[in-house]
Structure 1
Amino acid sequence: MRIRRPLLLSSLISTIVIPAFAQQLPAEGELQSVVVTGTYAKNRRTVDSESPIDIIGARELQASGSTELATVLGRLLPSMNFPRPSGADASDAVRPAQLRGLSPDQTLVLVNGKRRHSSAVVNVNGTQGRGSAPVDLNAIPLSAIDHIEVLRDGAAAQYGSDAIAGVINIILKKGAGGGDAEVGVGEYQKRDGKQLTVRGSTGFSLGDQGWVRVALEAADRDPTNRAGADFRNPAEPRYGKVNQRFGDPETRPRSVFVNSQYRVNDDIDWYAFANYGQRNTSAAATWRTALNGTAQRTPLYPEGFLPLENSESQDTSLVTGLRGEASGWRWDVSLNYGRNEFQLDLDHTVNQTLGAASPTHFYAGKLLNTQQLFNVDLAREYPVAAFSGPLTVAVGAEARHESYEIGAGDEASYIGTGAQGFSGFRPVNAGRNSRHNESVYLNLEADVSRQFSTSAALRHERYSDFGSTTSAKGSARYAFSEAFSLRGTASSGFRAPSLAQQFYTITTTNFSVVNGVNTPIETGTFAVGSAAAAALGATPLKAEKARNYSLGLQFSPLSNWSTTVDAYRIDIDDRIALSANMTLSPALQAALAKQNILVGAGRYFTNAIDTRTTGVDVVSSYRLDLASAGRYDFTLAYNHNKNSLEHVNANPAILTANNLTLIDRQTINRLTVGSPKDKLSLATDANWGAWSARGVVTRYGSFTVPQNNATLDQTYDPQWVLDLSTSVKLNKNWRLSAGIDNVTNRYPDQVTSAGNLNNNGINPYSGFAPNGFNGRYYYAKAAYNW
């Protein structure tokens, strides 16, 4: 069933709250700016930072044909990977992004310095990020964003769980002045994937003491399809036709951000920002042929059918608080609520157990994730006679409550074989679980001399479900001159197992290639504390533990030229992974049948893997100002990243006795070689008069899609992609833009036919491809600013 395209209206608008401590963007002719991420000191610039920080402005975010935040960041940040899986159930609708090749949920996402809630969706299919339930970056509209700060360093001692790979802090627009509205359209070279986007922002005064901003964004995005024709069975009615849909899903996102600030008195400000977003997605499952062997599969679809997974993802968030200054202390007290609800319907499909009486529409159930936080943050500067600058002392506390809920679907969606495409959540899967944790932290920062600065952080957390953990971090920077400095950090960190990883449970039909044929098998995903998981050797989850080290140099020989080189190592013990899809022996199937669980395969989450990540980031920026001939900004950015296996826990005895392996080769290699080894980006921004232009060439490095049979592994060659755009300012208010993403229409390598991993040529591309597989994209925009 196609999602109806409503008429897009809008006077679109944008929002923001000032973060806990103020920031500003670079002035003309400068390459540095004040940052707030990873520091509690006032007026800390990127050039003074002891950890690498990228700052991405609104102009960079919108100089692309894409309106998805994760897609844009995947192009702008060499250390970020954002593949586009297809045919991966809910992962088609909520696609995960990786920083430094690590798990998507090992990156902390903040909005205005406040923790963003995670998605309720668990990535359980064979995609990158399998087993994670991260923040849905694409739920945050570009129209609301002023700029983004990306801290490429472990920061659990400063922010708590999830900040192993780094921190993405999204800073929203602020103030009452000005506004913008934009309409954009686009289409792929293949004449599909048409997009219409309407967005904008504006602000209003609250008397003379405050302001409120609103940002709205709405888009209609048609699906793309790069599937091949189906030549599997000449007896099929649709033999030789393109039956599968393999590409981006159809999406209809709608989002609003509202943000405000009001001065209560000379010492106290009230602030609040809120978000509501809804995204409808229609993704295709695997084509069901008309014949099952020689028998008719269902009389309802005599030519075969393509199940559609129609989902609705709703995000709601509200942060409000008071901040001010008293007795030299800057203070911030806030409440934070976040919620994601994901509902799934199946259309154009059947439950074969019900035969001709089967409905063709099914409600498959819902997932719901919520968080509530209370934060108190204090900071002040103490003069120290021996130091060149003050000692900044920051202390704080946090109380957090989280819950995770599974709601059952219609009986017809799960009874018997269940709905084709996605068997619904059963009443036995349904339930609500929660936990709480409390934490305290201390952060110290000081400029000991004009050349030497240092900082230290300590954080202690206590979780109601698995116990306590303490993280520490130390950083330092030494400037040999104004042009050259060294910096380094060392830290310990952790990531708490999410409630989704502990309690997600469902029975679905997965497909495995058996003797060259995609064969369905009923697969149970069991909560790690359940009797079913215990029967397969499961043990309770515990926190992942990390050790981060980095060493970098900063080189700024000129005021308009800056280069940073940062090497890093991240050791993670007890990484949480979703186990292999274990095809159960008759004995284990019988054991689970006694619990009324009828499956042929099973899996659960486990702490089983230790890994080491090593790499280097290089960022070099140069600004050339030719006065009447225009201004030109050149940026080179490069990341090289290597993930390696350090240890795998011993296989549970019950599995060994049944010739099963909990952590298979594919699970390990997905973590170590599944994301690109490196990425290089060369960007040029030109501005002359009313005209501006941007060109970016990106080299996505090689990656490997692993299989349990090593001979079926496929390593994909690097891919070069060129993006070009230009814009012209017609007058004070109007601006027209146009561009082409992937100018040379480059596609990744096709999946080889070995082992029938391309499904007889029907699925020609890999969902691991870091730039997708849609080809050239044309777009145009018209914007009005005031």
Structure 2
Amino acid sequence: MKQLTLILFTLLTSVGFAQQTVTGTVKDADGELLPGVNIIEKGTSNGATTDFDGKYSIEVPADAVLVFSYVGFTSKEVPVGGKSTINVTMDSGAQLEEVLLVGSRALPRSNTTSSLPIDVLPAKELASTGQLTFDKALQYKIPSFNTVQTPVNDATSLLDPYEIRNMGPSRTLILINGKRKNLSSLLYTQTSPGRGETGSDISAIPTDAIKRVEILRDGASAQYGSDAIAGVMNIILKDNDDEGSVTLRTGITSEGDGETIGVSLNNGTSIGNENNGFFNYTIDFSKTNLANRPGTVDAEGEAIDFEADIADVRDFLNKYPDANNINGSPENAVAKFLVNGGYDLNKASSIYMNAAYVYKKVNSFANYRTPYWRTVADHPYLADFFPNGDNGEYIGYAPTFEGDLNDYNASLGFKTKKNGWNYDISYTTGGNSQAYTVNNSHNRFAVFEASFNDANGNGQADPGEEFEAVELYRENSPISFDPGGTKFSHHVGNIDIAKLLSDKVSIGFGAEFRNETFEIVEGDKASWDGGGADSFAGNRPENSGKFNRYNFGGYFDIAYDITEDFLINGTVRLEDYSDFGEAFVWKVSSRYKFLEDKITLRASASTGFRAPTLHQIYTQKAQYSFVPGEGIQVGGLVSNVSPQARLLKLPKLDAEESFNVTVGLGVKLNSKINFTIDYYNIQVEDRIVLSTEVAPPANDAFEGLNDLSFFVNAIDTRTSGIDFVANYKNIELGSGELGFSLSGNYTIENERDGDVKEPSFLNGTGQSVVNETQEALFFTSRPRTKWILGATYEIGKFDFSLNNTYFGKTTFRQQGLDENLSTEFIPKVVTDLGIGFDATEKFTISLNVNNILDVLPEWEFVSLNSAGDAILNDPAQVKTQSNLITFNQRYSQMTYDGYHFSQLGAMFTLSLNYEL
């Protein structure tokens, strides 16, 4: 800690130089005054804009260089040279480049001068996808980004796991206006992509509030701290104060379900008599109905799994071929509120803020309990609990899973510039809570409580009074349960300082303090006592509680323009966590431009880290899961700091460490044609995984559990691949303009490096914390390659877009699958069509048909050897294997453990947008 304090003290020492005010006007070549021209002090974020009379005023050092830029005009650099008045004439013919806020902690740079691969998505491109949520829009715009709906919903129905470069949701850092967004309180524990991890709820961010998205596809722990091993996503909010719109959207699937309706309002206003500030707000409400895609259940598989009479099974399935199962996309209702604002206190200082609140209600279902699964012979009271048949007879029941999610984040900051030093001081808070309800279920376990006849009415047992045992559940069970939930919150303080020391060198440094709290909320007793509520047991008192930690970090960043074309950028960071100690990381990046900036070579090398989340350290619970051939069983997830962990001699969780290398090429032939290609290599040591289910040792502490799982630093991994992005735009065709884009991601390798690091208690048992199913989830459950080919055409009042997204092969080794087989999802192309019509200057109609060709996932068995060949040549064995991984065909489209891409058929959406 003394070392960290000394570094931060050194970083926060600064000197200053004199400023002067420069004023002037900006005109075009015809002498017309230009309002809204951007004037930036080169190498800094200090800037101004021209007013309606083309006038500007900016405070800069005497030796500064001013950069004048405007859409459709060539940027111009003008040295101040001590002058107090500078008038500028701009020439037309160029497009304004974005100034990137992500990638360097020194000073912002344009996209062409960045030394790192960064995708920039304007709001218009997100809206053009027709997708209903922000995460799904990214799925069809960024090849290295993937997200899927999980086959078995329960808690994961509240938000879907996502990832960049197959690295899991917890290795991509999410920023809003450059400030860290809070994690979700949800820990993914199902056997599906994202297992054992958590991430931010990016689906909660209203798309209409977003100005643009910057995605840094490179390790950035040195700049931003933990969670940035795979990259950083910076969401820039709208800041306009004189524009607004209201959007009404509706949609339905080709199957006639999944109906959605929503309305969104985005608007802005200026603040102050001289328009010194702005206030932009977004309100978004939406409702989506259930889209159900159950499979046709196999009677023979059911009879075997549930040891049921085949005649009873067939009789039920003849009436209900899907066994009344409900799976697909759950019903949800969402309300989103977001504000973004800023105010200039004077020419050098300003304050800024943003805040968001999201409420999400999701209704989903557990697997249907058929009458041969939960029988009246074993549970006679079920006939009274669930008279669901046409004539009031018992035909089983479907427990519901209902989730209430609350997510909030807010930032408040102060920026100022003094003597060339840029200061940014901010406070950020955020949180996520999820509360669950299970209805239409029961506690089927025999739990007794001692009772006595209190004849004297004194509330205590007296001599001679008789005790009796009262059964709490079964026929006395409630059918509605409160299993508790989870909460997460953080508080973050930042100090960031940057300065352009010369026309070649800029530096940035700062400090961050972060406090995190994770809470497991206790469920009501009936939800966990005995075995708890059927389908989803509640949080037990001994597994519940509130857990906290803090960390303190500091960084130093320097950028050196050796020449106008040659840049080197370096960053170091030191963090100290209260629960596992210090982490020191670094990053070096460079770029070289030549041929009049048409070609840029870039490269970076960095170390990184990811701290174990509080969720991974402290979560302990019993949970229901599907065991192939055995139906639903109860397993236990053991906390890393529990007495059970000590019995198992589990090591304490430590931080993951990474080494990233990126090498890329950027080509901008002209204003119409550009492309980038980047190679990346990511090595992660001590990767934290949620183990596979292992048999518990013979110990009373694990009585009643079918299996155990736990978190452990189990494996080292290496991931490498290539990202490609190309654009050819503004092609004149008839009286309109045509544009093409092609982007792709190809995974060269994504695999375990070395042996699994097993806990000692598994030695000699023949078991491992990482089995073939886990390996597939880590490394092959996302497309090996993904490509997006898009075309746009704008003519008159119409604009058209056509996107084809190619999802490459994915491979699974589902739990229970024969070791001689694997499962492959067949490559598919999903085609999306969008049509926009500007009915008036303010009113736009947009129609999107997503997955217009109604493409659905398909999978097939693949033999690994001659024994696998023998299985595939025997239809009976093939059927058995298929039943094992689909829960007897309940999940025939996606299998129980995996999904290729989230599609339930074609989706038609219509939106009406009116500009205010």
Aligned to 2:822: 713
2-side partners of 1:26 and 1:614: how far apart? Answer: 39
Is residue 740 of structure 1 aligned with residue 849 of structure 2? yes
Aligned to 2:898: 768
Deviations 1:740-770 (A, max 9, x none): 0001100111476425211222211226334
Query: In 2, are the aligned partners of 1:86 and 1:92 still within 8 Å (CA)?
Result: no
Is residue 608 of structure 1 aligned with residue 714 of structure 2? yes
Query: In 1, are the aligned partners of 2:824 and 2:860 still within 8 Å (CA)?
Result: no
Query: In 1, are the aligned partners of 2:811 and 2:823 still within 8 Å (CA)?
Result: yes
Query: In 1, are the aligned partners of 2:151 and 2:899 still within 8 Å (CA)?
Result: no
Is residue 425 of structure 1 aligned with residue 532 of structure 2? no
Is residue 381 of structure 1 aligned with residue 500 of structure 2? yes
1-side partners of 2:710 and 2:195: how far apart? Answer: 12
1:538 to 642, 645, 650: 650
Aligned-partner SS, 1:604: strand
1-side partners of 2:886 and 2:910: how far apart? Answer: 35
Code of the aligned partner of 1:717: I
Aligned to 1:239: 317
Relative contact order higher in (CA < 8 Å, ≥ 6 apart): 1
Code of the aligned partner of 2:679: A
Give structure 2 stretches of 5+ with no counterpart: 1-43, 50-68, 73-93, 300-309, 387-393, 446-472, 862-878
Query: In 1, are the aligned partners of 2:107 and 2:507 still within 8 Å (CA)?
Result: no
Deviations 1:107-131 (A, max 9, x none): 0000000000000000001010100
2-side partners of 1:165 and 1:438: how far apart? Answer: 22
Task: Map 1:30-179; keep pairs closer than 5 Å.
Answer: 30=95, 32-40=97-105, 42=107, 44-179=109-244
2-side partners of 1:483 and 1:319: how far apart? Answer: 39
Is residue 522 of structure 1 aligned with residue 634 of structure 2? yes
Task: Map 1:196-207; keep pairs closer than 5 Å.
Answer: 196-207=261-272
Deviations 1:29-57 (A, max 9, x none): 63842211112455511111111000111
What displacement does 1:22 show?
A: 7.8
What displacement does 1:360 show?
A: 1.6
2-side partners of 1:293 and 1:120: how far apart? Answer: 33
TM-score (norm: length of structure 1): 0.93
Aligned-partner SS, 1:85: coil
Aligned to 1:312: 404
Aligned to 1:671: 778
Aligned to 2:750: 643
Identify the range of structure 1 (757-766 vs 485-494) with the bigger mean alpha-carbon deviation. Answer: 757-766
Give structure 1 stretches of 5+ with no counterpart: 1-19, 384-388
Aligned-partner SS, 2:541: coil
Query: In 1, are the aligned partners of 2:849 and 2:909 still within 8 Å (CA)?
Result: yes
Aligned-partner SS, 2:836: strand
2-side partners of 1:267 and 1:703: how far apart? Answer: 54
Identify the range of structure 1 (404-413 vs 80-89) with the bigger mean alpha-carbon deviation. Answer: 80-89
Aligned to 1:437: 551
Aligned to 1:333: 425
Query: In 1, are the aligned partners of 2:183 and 2:488 still within 8 Å (CA)?
Result: yes
Cα 1:26–1:575 change in 2 (3 A) is farther
Cα 1:703–1:31 change in 2 (3 A) is farther
Task: Map 1:339-738; keep pairs closer than 5 Å.
Answer: 339-353=431-445, 354-383=473-502, 389-481=503-595, 482-514=597-629, 518-584=630-696, 588-593=697-702, 598-626=704-732, 629-641=735-747, 642-707=749-814, 709-738=818-847
Aligned-partner SS, 1:558: coil
Identify the range of structure 1 (99-108 vs 356-365) with the bigger mean alpha-carbon deviation. Answer: 356-365
Deviations 1:349-388 (A, max 9, x none): 12112222222211110200010011000001011xxxxx
Query: In 2, are the aligned partners of 1:84 and 1:770 still within 8 Å (CA)?
Result: no
Code of the aligned partner of 1:762: R
Deviations 1:167-205 (A, max 9, x none): 000000003111010011111111111111111200122
Aligned-partner SS, 2:557: strand
What displacement does 1:658 show?
A: 4.0
Query: In 2, are the aligned partners of 1:21 and 1:36 still within 8 Å (CA)?
Result: no
Query: In 2, are the aligned partners of 1:592 and 1:598 still within 8 Å (CA)?
Result: no
Q: Which has the larger radius of gyration?
A: 2
| Length, aligned pairs only | 753
Aligned to 2:464: none
What displacement does 1:283 show?
A: 1.6
Code of the aligned partner of 2:510: G
1-side partners of 2:631 and 2:707: how far apart? Answer: 13
Code of the aligned partner of 1:264: L
1-side partners of 2:477 and 2:45: how far apart? Answer: 59
Code of the aligned partner of 1:337: T
Deviations 1:302-335 (A, max 9, x none): 2111111100110111110111101211110000
1-side partners of 2:70 and 2:163: how far apart? Answer: 28
2-side partners of 1:554 and 1:263: how far apart? Answer: 37
Aligned to 1:194: 259
1-side partners of 2:311 and 2:501: how far apart? Answer: 81
Deviations 1:498-529 (A, max 9, x none): 00010011111222012xxx422221111111
2-side partners of 1:435 and 1:483: how far apart? Answer: 48
What displacement does 1:476 show?
A: 0.7
Aligned to 1:221: 288
CA RMSD after TM alignment: 1.9
Code of the aligned partner of 1:103: G
Code of the aligned partner of 1:552: G
TM-score (norm: length of structure 2): 0.80
Cα 1:162–1:123 change in 2 (3 A) is same
2-side partners of 1:419 and 1:751: how far apart? Answer: 36
2-side partners of 1:627 and 1:101: how far apart? Answer: 39
- Provide the identity percentage: 29
What displacement does 1:148 show?
A: 0.2
Is residue 230 of structure 1 aligned with residue 297 of structure 2? yes
2-side partners of 1:624 and 1:647: how far apart? Answer: 50
Query: In 1, are the aligned partners of 2:826 and 2:860 still within 8 Å (CA)?
Result: no
Code of the aligned partner of 1:379: A
